[in-house]
Structure 1
Amino acid sequence: MIDWQTVFYALFAVTAWLLFTWQCLRAYRLAQPSEGDGRGDVLVAYASQSGRALGIAQRLATSLPDGARLLPLNRLDLDSLQSARQLYCIAATYGEGEAPDNAARFLSQFAQAELPDLSSLRYQVLALGDREYPHFCAYGHQLDAALAEAGAECAVNCAEIDCGTEQMAQAVDQWLGAIVGEAVTAEGAHSYGEFLPWTLQSRRCVNEGSPGAPMYALRLSPPATQAVDWQAGAIAEIRLPGSAMRAREYSIASLPQSESVELLVRLQYDEHGQAGMASGYLCEQMALGEYVELKLRANPLFATPEGDTPLILIGAGSGLAGLWGHLEARRQSGYRQNWLVYGERSPACDRPYAEQIAELERDAYLPGLDLCFSRAEQNAAYVQEVLRQRALALQDWVSRGAVIMVCGSRDGMAGGVDAALREVLGTAGVEQLENDGRYRRDVY
């Protein structure tokens, strides 16, 4: 005799899983940069690290009457420039006045004994930056100068936008409207909304006794009447109450199914031993039940890979937050080809998410797992050293189509990891991964 109740629940579970998978796939595809349907004589190029410049470029490319080809600057060669009539560049400045990852090689094409002839090209540059940091909009101006020196005609002087101000959105809208000739809507997956009051639900230190600075897991909930959504890889922008300080950005470790945003925040200290304004408030001063203004922002350049693509996640310290959402998303989708390489200081104290990691490994969602500790009494190592030791496995995963995702300190861990990847895979191999969107970084 058929147990119809069992059949019903089985069908319900399968339907729910298929619906969830479809929603994840649709969100992933909406977030991905598309080259558009332009003829190729109008180019919209972006230099974007955390998705802001990409979002603006997507809005422009889809709003131009005849369409445009949308692509990162690294994929824009001199032949394409010489055959185009119009180029729009949206360029963020990263690090110490440098180009973002997807634009780091573009200007090397201009470092030749004989400059290219771009006299038939008109161009316009929008430079994004933050005035709190030195070298404000430096890369945008480098780009503008290189194009002008090659003979390209500047349609409008390089525009600067300070991303740390509340007026940023209005300034972007004005810049886009001046090009298109009408208001440009903010549709798309690159933005999730405005600042809202999020309440601190819980806070716990995840590395008590560590030789390093304390690190806290914070969980914040949105207003009860507000429906919120985000994808793994998204960023939380936080503004402190009563402070003129600009918003600070944190990688999100949770998915919306948890109905809260979880962050990993390292308590920072200045040269006088004083806690940093943002980390000090979030980790020590803010009381449970209090709120901060928080805005969710998508980062499509750090999205979870589509389907059951092999995934290598590399991080250290609080960078685990930027990787954890991807592991959660992969588990919910039933995708098991995951390899986590994570580094911290002490094996006794520095083990955030230890129980969850053990559970993923037990359930075969982490066939690759390498935890390393720089202060261990035996076999001390950094993540970049692990990658060199595991060179054959790394080459094998990449040969099978793996995507590499890195999250953590730019000047410390991320730089060392990049050097190790180039040693193991070759510089040309790493650059090909970048071009294919298979080397993604959320570094700070």
Structure 2
Amino acid sequence: MELNVTNSPFNEAQSEQLNQVFSKLTKEQKIWLSGYLTASVNTQQASNQTDLPISTVNTNVPSPKTRAITILFGSETGNAQGLAETLENKLKEHHFEVNLSSMEDFKTKDLKKVEDLFIITATHGEGEPPDNAITFHEFIHSRKAPKLNDLRYSVLALGDESYEYFCQTGRDFDKKLEELGAKKLHPRVDCDLDFDEPAEKWMEDIINELAEETGQKQEEYDAVNTEKTSATQKYSRTNPYEAEVLENINLSGRGSNKEVRHIELSLEGFTESFEPGDCIGIFPKNDPEIVEKLINILVWDPEEEIVINDNQDKLKLKDALENHFEITKLTKSILTKAAEIFNNGVLSEKVKKERWIYGYVEGRDFIDLINDFPPEDLEPGALYKILRKLPAREYSIASSYEATPDEVHLTIGAVRYNANERDRKGVCSVQFAERIEPGDTVPIYLKKNPNFKFPKSDETPVIMIGPGTGVAPFRAYVQDKEELGINNKAWLFFGEQYFTTDFLYQTEWQSWLKDGVLNKLSLAFSRESDEKVYVQHRIEENSKEFYEWIEQGAAIYVCGDEKNMAKDVHQAILKVVQTEGHYNEEEAEAFLTQLKKEKRYQRDIY
């Protein structure tokens, strides 16, 4: 990583000089220099404290760790990779030797040589490993996996408690490594959507255990690291940026069955750039009507101050229910905790059956739980023991930084449906649809997505498949393409219900097609005829040309619904490869797996 004025406390001239020096240093020289600077800072601080004898100053630099550390990540949207990179940086600051790798890039034959292994992985779909963890997951569960009696390890698992197979991939790795003889350096930690604090605690615990073995002391690094953190502080999940809403426009035409909002947010003063494929996370608020209904059912005082977490932080009840707790979604954890606190015998019996739990939580919220299983003497202060923190919602960026650096655009479909005899609303999407206007502000953060990145080469054709709001990152890419003058071929597959009411960004696509920025546009409107037509049908109709693009080196991108669209599109692409490439199904799957490894088949599905 090169130093510059945005990621370091140095000015442009200093950054340039330091980069020139660093580029010529060996690994050993960099380690020595790091230790020298640490000692120098400590000595200078001590010399300024005239009441302390110089003999109390410790200028010794810890020697490098002898055991080699390997960090492997399995990441779908970038969270696991980001945490893995954070752990790598923390370990290197403590002078440990670290090898960081995605699971797909790690050579499995080297596993026997690893001494300390830290795995950070998400879980995809119904308990499946992320795409870039599949090969390693299969290897470690195969007969080829070696005995690992000399290996120490720990696993950080990311997931979503609302899914049945919560953190399953992390649990798989943890169980299998133990079966292969490896020893746990630290117990596995399973993280829900709000993963920042438990992940940070896991890292601290690991580093403390390693440092204790080598006689290192955490306080030797605190002053240096505190200075560095303050110098490079930026907006994040834990320090969100308040973005002003510039525009909030309904893209759907009159008579549409849907409501899709085009949102423009100001980034004035944000300072960080983004790329097509990246996301914006938004911290939403619960609907005040739902909050009021819940308070009335329980006959509580909305102004009462309650504890909201283990740190004993407090908020007024109404504020806590609007801004802190998730109340519109149930999970297995919520039901089991409620069974312990509600003192409702029926619920206590029901939660003993796991199958019942996953049937019940579907399409129900906390109000349903209260109505169906009335609690006995439930106090507002017990809520934090039952409910999880309201998680951020992440949306693909729909604009190019090159085109509009001081603002970011999002494409948000309002979620409304009826389930279990009650109308339901998406927390964040309907907040934008019904309660947010230009001039309001929303807390946001930028999330990089290293697994959904577009080429900036004239030689790489791009095939984009994005029905509905899945078209958002492709609007960002084509804007980028136009601004940067990238002359590669681009083909968009877009689908929705009706041409006249649901063709999102219609005039822009048609203009780009006319100007040659977009070379081909294939549309599928499912309600225009008796026979429903979707994007996967358009892929099969264009089978020959689709495969020709692949042979020319095209990269394929898919964005949108995971449950149906992504699976159907994958099958359509598989069929194209089989038909045009004359492969059997197994060979075609291997072909697509190779495309994934080459970053020529990337998906952002949700």
TM range (shorter): 0.7 to 0.9
TM-score (norm 2): 0.61
Which deviates more, 410-419 or 55-64? 55-64
Separation (CA, whole Å) in 1 of partners of 2:68 and 2:553: 32
Instruction: Report the CA distance shift for 1:201/1:150 in structure 2 as closer, same or farther (over 3 A).
Output: same
The answer for the alignment partner of 2:393 in structure 1 is 248
Which deviates more, 409-418 or 61-70? 61-70
Q: What is the CA distance between 1:198 and its match in structure 2?
A: 1.2
Conservation of the 8 A alpha-carbon contact between 1:81 and 1:121: no
Instruction: Report the CA distance shift for 1:76/1:157 in structure 2 as closer, same or farther (over 3 A).
Output: same
What do you get for the CA RMSD once the two structures are aligned?
2.9
Q: What is the CA distance between 1:140 and its match in structure 2?
A: 0.8
**Equivalent AA in structure 2 for residue 143 of structure 1:** F
Separation (CA, whole Å) in 2 of partners of 1:306 and 1:118: 42
* Residue 83 of structure 2 corresponds to residue 53 of structure 1: no
Separation (CA, whole Å) in 1 of partners of 2:229 and 2:448: 13
Q: What is the CA distance between 1:155 and its match in structure 2?
A: 2.1
Q: What is the CA distance between 1:148 and its match in structure 2?
A: 1.6
Separation (CA, whole Å) in 2 of partners of 1:307 and 1:176: 42
Conservation of the 8 A alpha-carbon contact between 1:192 and 1:297: no
Instruction: Report the CA distance shift for 1:420/1:72 in structure 2 as closer, same or farther (over 3 A).
Output: farther
Separation (CA, whole Å) in 2 of partners of 1:300 and 1:175: 27
User: Comparing both structures, which one devotes a greater share of its residues to helix?
Assistant: 2
The answer for the alignment partner of 1:220 in structure 2 is 265
Q: 1:291 aligns with which of 427, 430, 441?
A: 441
Q: Give the 3-state SS of the residue equivalent to 1:157 in structure 2.
A: coil
Conservation of the 8 A alpha-carbon contact between 2:492 and 2:522: yes
- Structure 1 ranges of 4+ moved more than 6 A: 183-187
Which deviates more, 299-308 or 359-368? 299-308
Conservation of the 8 A alpha-carbon contact between 1:98 and 1:139: yes
Q: 2:157 aligns with which of 127, 139, 152?
A: 127
**Equivalent AA in structure 1 for residue 276 of structure 2:** A
The equivalences for 1:68-107 within 5 A come to 68-76=98-106, 78-107=108-137
Q: Give the 3-state SS of the residue equivalent to 2:244 in structure 1.
A: strand
Separation (CA, whole Å) in 2 of partners of 1:321 and 1:170: 32
Conservation of the 8 A alpha-carbon contact between 1:236 and 1:297: yes
Q: What is the CA distance between 1:298 and its match in structure 2?
A: 0.9
* Residue 208 of structure 2 corresponds to residue 150 of structure 1: no
Deviation by residue 1:218-260 (Cα, 9 ceiling, x = unmatched): 11213x4443421211111111244222211111101234222
* Residue 599 of structure 2 corresponds to residue 437 of structure 1: yes
Instruction: Report the CA distance shift for 1:176/1:316 in structure 2 as closer, same or farther (over 3 A).
Output: farther
Deviation by residue 1:150-185 (Cα, 9 ceiling, x = unmatched): 222322221233342563674465357447746787
Larger radius of gyration: 2
> Could you list the runs of 5+ residues in structure 1 that have no partner in the other structure?
1-39
Identity across matched positions, percent: 28
**Equivalent AA in structure 2 for residue 50 of structure 1:** T
Which deviates more, 341-350 or 118-127? 118-127
Separation (CA, whole Å) in 2 of partners of 1:111 and 1:197: 46
Q: Give the 3-state SS of the residue equivalent to 2:423 in structure 1.
A: coil
**Equivalent AA in structure 1 for residue 243 of structure 2:** W
* Residue 521 of structure 2 corresponds to residue 375 of structure 1: no
Q: What is the CA distance between 1:326 and its match in structure 2?
A: 1.4
Instruction: Report the CA distance shift for 1:303/1:131 in structure 2 as closer, same or farther (over 3 A).
Output: same
TM-score (norm 1): 0.82
Q: Give the 3-state SS of the residue equivalent to 1:302 in structure 2.
A: coil
**Equivalent AA in structure 1 for residue 278 of structure 2:** A
The answer for the alignment partner of 1:202 in structure 2 is 247
The answer for the alignment partner of 1:3 in structure 2 is none
Conservation of the 8 A alpha-carbon contact between 1:192 and 1:298: no
Q: 2:167 aligns with which of 134, 137, 143?
A: 137
> Could you list the runs of 5+ residues in structure 2 that have no partner in the other structure?
1-66, 212-217, 286-321, 325-389, 578-587
Deviation by residue 1:109-152 (Cα, 9 ceiling, x = unmatched): 34446864233433221112234544332221111112222222
* Residue 439 of structure 2 corresponds to residue 395 of structure 1: no
**Equivalent AA in structure 2 for residue 363 of structure 1:** D
The equivalences for 1:254-265 within 5 A come to 254-256=399-401, 257-258=403-404, 259-265=406-412
Q: Give the 3-state SS of the residue equivalent to 1:386 in structure 2.
A: helix
Q: Give the 3-state SS of the residue equivalent to 2:273 in structure 1.
A: coil
Q: How many residues align?
A: 403
Q: Give the 3-state SS of the residue equivalent to 1:71 in structure 2.
A: strand
Separation (CA, whole Å) in 2 of partners of 1:391 and 1:41: 49
Deviation by residue 1:339-378 (Cα, 9 ceiling, x = unmatched): 1111111122111111110111111111122111111228
Q: Give the 3-state SS of the residue equivalent to 1:330 in structure 2.
A: helix
Separation (CA, whole Å) in 1 of partners of 2:145 and 2:280: 42
Q: Give the 3-state SS of the residue equivalent to 1:160 in structure 2.
A: strand
Q: Give the 3-state SS of the residue equivalent to 2:481 in structure 1.
A: helix
